Amino acid sequence: MLRLERRESTSKTFQIAISVLTVVLALVVVGILLYFFGVNPIEAYKEMFLWPFGNVYGFSDTLVKSIPITLAALGLIFPFQMRVWNIGAEGQFLMGAFGASLAALYIFPGLENRILMVLLVSMFGIIFGSLWAAIPGLMKAYLRADEIVSTIMLNYVALLWIDYLVYGPWKDPQGYNFPMTKFFPDAAWLPYFGQTQIHAGIIILPLAAFFAYYLTRLSPWGLKIKVIGDNEKTAWYAGINVNRELFVAMLLSGALAGLGGALHMMGAQHRLQHGFSAGYGYTAIIVAWLGKLNPWAVLIVGILFTGLLVGNEQLQIFFGIPISLIFVFQGVVLLGLLAGEILSRYRIKFARKGVGENA
């Protein structure tokens, strides 16, 4: 029988080693699948790593997609630190994209000042993202409703809401009946860097990481949520309003995911479209976890992990491998992280049956 014994402490190196090992493990599992698919895993991995990090197009694709993923992951740090499981970054990202489209296409379509336009569209993304997080946040804080189920369900509601719009009232009349809106006005397009597809939204990433770093590590509020995460009862005794801080953490989380939605709209998509998110909000959960909720680590992991996803997509194009491999990869990473979390907290002892008693 397996038995877990608590560790006194865990070193940072050990934690990093676990994150790295997990990704390697996932790569091995996917490699085995590739082998069965008739593709040489070594060849495939060469392509998978060279494309996102050694090629201009691949690298710019990586950076562009890393923006919404990393922003959402940075936002998740706040609720996750309090052990509030916001699985709703996907929905909050989608609603942010919805808010951005609402602003750019229907509220300020005639606005020609680019700076003002970008600020307003971003604001709308933030507002709608945080509103979408406010629903499960309020329900959790004041009604004790399980946030996991409610956030997952609201993800689907948001997805259907976007589909409703792009298949219905917001469909571009000149769009050959494709489920998408018309393009954003020029003023709502973020400028690119040189000839690449990398857009100005990337500047926000380090700023957001600093914002998360400041809030969690330097501000008094960070201390509060740390106490809540360690022990909710202690927090109440210390006079911390756990409900309020929980709600604030959810709002902040939704705000960053929503901002990611707005930037992705203005920088990459330029229109609302059916199925434009490849599950970025779910990937963000993995990124936040891989980065051990440390903002700077999340920033780096966000870009690296997006690179793996972009590399995976490239495999599909290059070798004709099903795109679903990405989900296998992410699933194995998640399971590996869960097992790793246990390894870092407990020693695993193999023992015979009947070792309930503590020696």
Partner 1 sequence: MLDGFISVATAAVRSGTPLLYATLGEILTERSGVLNIGLEGIMLMGAITGFAVVYSTGNLLLAVLMAMVMGAIFGALHAFFSVTLRVNQVVTGLAIAMLGKGLSGFWGKSYIGVVAPRFEKLPIPVLKDIPFLGPVFFNHDILVYITYLLVPFLWFFIYRTSAGLTLRAVGEAPEAADAKGINVFAHRYFYTIIGGALTALGGAYLSLAYASMWIENMTAERGWIAVALVVLSTWDPVKAILFSYLFGGIDTLQFYLQVSGTTVSAHILKMLPYLATVIAVVFTSREKVRKLINAPTALGIPFSREEEVA
| Binding track over 185-224 against partner 1, x by CB under 8 A | ----------------------------------------
Q: Which residues contact 165 (CB under 8 A, 6 or more apart)?
A: 98, 181, 272
Q: Which residues contact 211 (CB under 8 A, 6 or more apart)?
A: 74
Q: Work out whether 134 is an interface residue with partner 1 (CB under 8 A).
A: no
Q: Work out whether 153 is an interface residue with partner 1 (CB under 8 A).
A: yes
**What does residue 144 show for φ and ψ, rounded to 5 degrees?**
60, 30
CB of 4 to partner 1, least distance (A): 7
The answer to whether 347 and 10 have CB atoms below 8 angstroms apart is no
Question: Cα–Cα distance between 351 and 136 in angstroms, integer?
Answer: 43
Please count the other Cβ atoms lying within 10 Å of the Cβ belonging to residue 203: 13
Closest CA to 190 of 293, 90, 263: 263
Q: Work out whether 143 is an interface residue with partner 1 (CB under 8 A).
A: yes
Of 340-359, which residues contact partner 1 (CB under 8 A)?
A: 341-342, 356, 358
Q: Which is nearer to partner 1, 114 or 341 (CB)?
A: 341
- CA dihedral sign of residues 348, 354, 358, 359: negative
The answer to whether 159 and 91 have CB atoms below 8 angstroms apart is yes
Q: Work out whether 148 is an interface residue with partner 1 (CB under 8 A).
A: yes
Q: Work out whether 33 is an interface residue with partner 1 (CB under 8 A).
A: yes
Q: Which is nearer to partner 1, 54 or 322 (CB)?
A: 322
Q: Work out whether 85 is an interface residue with partner 1 (CB under 8 A).
A: yes
CB under 8 A: which stretch of 71-79, 156-164, 199-207, 260-268 binds partner 1?
156-164
Question: Cα–Cα distance between 79 and 23 in angstroms, integer?
Answer: 24
Q: Work out whether 144 is an interface residue with partner 1 (CB under 8 A).
A: yes
DSSP strand E in the chain: where? 2-6, 346-350
Question: Cα–Cα distance between 219 and 185 in angstroms, integer?
Answer: 39
Question: Cα–Cα distance between 78 and 68 in angstroms, integer?
Answer: 17
Q: Which is nearer to partner 1, 211 or 341 (CB)?
A: 341
CB of 187 to partner 1, least distance (A): 30
Count of positions on this chain that bind partner 1 (CB under 8 A)? 48
CB of 322 to partner 1, least distance (A): 5
129: left (phi over 0), alpha (psi -120 to 50) or beta: alpha
| Binding track over 37-76 against partner 1, x by CB under 8 A | x---------------------------------------
Q: Work out whether 77 is an interface residue with partner 1 (CB under 8 A).
A: no
Q: Which is nearer to partner 1, 171 or 199 (CB)?
A: 171
CB under 8 A: which stretch of 192-200, 201-209, 299-307, 316-324 binds partner 1?
316-324
Which of 323, 347, 349, 351 lies at the binding interface for partner 1 (CB under 8 A)? 323
CB of 94 to partner 1, least distance (A): 13
Opening angle at CA 258, ends 83 and 148, nearest 5? 30
Q: Residue 148: exposed, middle, or buried by beta-carbon count in 10 A (0-12, 13-18, 19+)?
A: middle
Q: Which is nearer to partner 1, 300 or 334 (CB)?
A: 334
- Give 220's Cβ-side CA count (13 Å radius): 1
Q: Work out whether 282 is an interface residue with partner 1 (CB under 8 A).
A: yes
Footprint on this chain of partner 1 (rule: CB under 8 A): 2, 4, 33, 37, 85, 87, 135, 139, 143-146, 148-150, 152-154, 156-157, 160-161, 163-164, 167-168, 282, 285, 289, 322-332, 334-335, 338-339, 341-342, 356, 358
